[in-house]
Structure 1
Amino acid sequence: MNILLLGSGGREHALAWKISQSSDCTKLFVSPGNAGTSLFNVTENLVQNSYDQSDFQRIANFIQQQNIELIVVGPEAPLVAGITDFLKNNSSTSDVLVVGPTQAGAELEGSKDFAKQFMQKHNIPTAASHTFTAETLEEGLKYVKEQTLPIVLKADGLAAGKGVIICTSYDEATETLRDMLQHQKFGTASQKVVIEEFLDGIELSVFVLTDGKNYHLLPEAKDYKRIGENDTGPNTGGMGAVSPVPFADEAFMSKVKAQIVEPTIQGLAKENIDYRGFIFLGLMNVGGNPYVIEYNVRLGDPETQAIIPRLESDLVELLVATARQQLSEVQVNISLQAAATVVMVSGGYPESYVKGKVISGLSDKAESLVFHAGTEAKEGKTITSGGRVLAVTSLHSQLTSALEQTYAQVDQLFWKDIYYRKDIGQDILGYLANGK
Structure 2
Amino acid sequence: MNILLLGSGGREHALAWKLTQSPHCQQLYIAPGNAGTALCGTNINMSVTDFDTIKQFVLDKAIGMVIVGPEEPLVKGIVDVFRKDASLQHVAIIGPAQYGAQLEGSKAFAKKFMMRHNIPTAQYREFDASNYEEGIPYLQQHALPIVLKADGLAAGKGVLICQSHVEAIAEFELMLQQSKFGDASKKVVVEEFLDGIEMSVFVVTDGKNYVLLPEAKDYKRIGEGDSGLNTGGMGAVSPVPFADDVFMKKVIDRVVEPTVKGLEKENIDYKGFVFVGLIKVGDEPLVIEYNCRMGDPETEVVMPRLKTDLVELMLATANGTLDKITIEQDARVACTVMAVSGGYPGSYEKGFAISGLDSPVDADSLVFHAGTTTKDGEVVTNGGRVLCVTSYDESITGAVYKSKQVLKQIGYDGMYYRKDIGYEFE
State whether structure 2 residue 62 is matched by structure 1 residue 64: no
Match of 1:373 among 357, 360, 370: 370
CA–CA distance in structure 2, aligned partners of residues 227 and 187 of structure 1 = 25
State whether structure 2 residue 176 is matched by structure 1 residue 181: yes
**Residue 292 of structure 1, CA deviation:** 0.3
Q: Equivalent residue for 2:44?
A: 46
Per-residue deviation, residues 228-287 of structure 1 (Å, max 9, x unmatched): 222222211111100100111111111111111111111111111011100000001111
Match of 1:312 among 307, 327, 334: 307
Match of 1:394 among 374, 391, 404: 391
Q: Equivalent residue for 1:147?
A: 142
State whether structure 2 residue 217 is matched by structure 1 residue 219: no
**Residue 3 of structure 1, CA deviation:** 0.3
**Cα gap change, 1:144 to 1:78, in 2 (>3 Å):** same
Q: How many residues align?
A: 424
| Structure 1 stretch displaced more, 241-250 or 157-166 | 157-166
State whether structure 2 residue 92 is matched by structure 1 residue 97: yes
Q: Equivalent residue for 1:299?
A: 294
CA–CA distance in structure 2, aligned partners of residues 260 and 148 of structure 1 = 26
SS in structure 2 at match of 1:103: coil
Match of 1:254 among 246, 249, 270: 249
Amino acid at match of 1:93: L
TM-score of the superposition, structure 2-length normalised?
0.98
Contact 1:310 1:337 in 2 (8 A): yes
State whether structure 2 residue 419 is matched by structure 1 residue 419: no
TM-score of the superposition, structure 1-length normalised?
0.96
Per-residue deviation, residues 349-398 of structure 1 (Å, max 9, x unmatched): 11211111111110263122110010001111111111110011101111
Contact 1:356 1:384 in 2 (8 A): yes
Contact 2:151 2:189 in 1 (8 A): yes
Q: Equivalent residue for 2:101?
A: 106
**Cα gap change, 1:308 to 1:400, in 2 (>3 Å):** same
Q: Equivalent residue for 1:9?
A: 9
CA–CA distance in structure 2, aligned partners of residues 117 and 151 of structure 1 = 20
Per-residue deviation, residues 126-172 of structure 1 (Å, max 9, x unmatched): 00001111343322121111111111111111112221111111122
CA–CA distance in structure 2, aligned partners of residues 144 and 155 of structure 1 = 15
What percentage of aligned pairs have identical amino acids?
Answer: 58
CA–CA distance in structure 1, aligned partners of residues 118 and 332 of structure 2 = 35
CA–CA distance in structure 1, aligned partners of residues 336 and 128 of structure 2 = 38
Contact 2:359 2:409 in 1 (8 A): no
Q: Equivalent residue for 1:403?
A: 400
Runs of 4+ aligned structure 1 residues displaced above 4 Å come to none
State whether structure 2 residue 26 is matched by structure 1 residue 29: no
CA–CA distance in structure 2, aligned partners of residues 345 and 138 of structure 1 = 41
CA–CA distance in structure 2, aligned partners of residues 193 and 88 of structure 1 = 32
**Cα gap change, 1:228 to 1:141, in 2 (>3 Å):** farther
Q: Equivalent residue for 2:80?
A: 85
SS in structure 1 at match of 2:39: coil
Cα root mean square deviation, aligned: 1.0
Contact 1:155 1:163 in 2 (8 A): yes
Contact 1:60 1:92 in 2 (8 A): no
SS in structure 2 at match of 1:54: coil
CA–CA distance in structure 2, aligned partners of residues 428 and 144 of structure 1 = 36
Amino acid at match of 1:391: C
Amino acid at match of 2:7: G
Amino acid at match of 1:377: T
Per-residue deviation, residues 4-47 of structure 1 (Å, max 9, x unmatched): 0000000000000000111000000000000000113xx10001
CA–CA distance in structure 2, aligned partners of residues 161 and 324 of structure 1 = 32
SS in structure 2 at match of 1:242: strand
Q: Equivalent residue for 2:116?
A: 121
Per-residue deviation, residues 89-117 of structure 1 (Å, max 9, x unmatched): 11111110011011111000000000001
State whether structure 2 residue 225 is matched by structure 1 residue 230: yes
Contact 2:2 2:63 in 1 (8 A): yes
Match of 2:327 among 332, 352, 358: 332
Contact 1:88 1:95 in 2 (8 A): no
Match of 1:242 among 226, 237, 258: 237
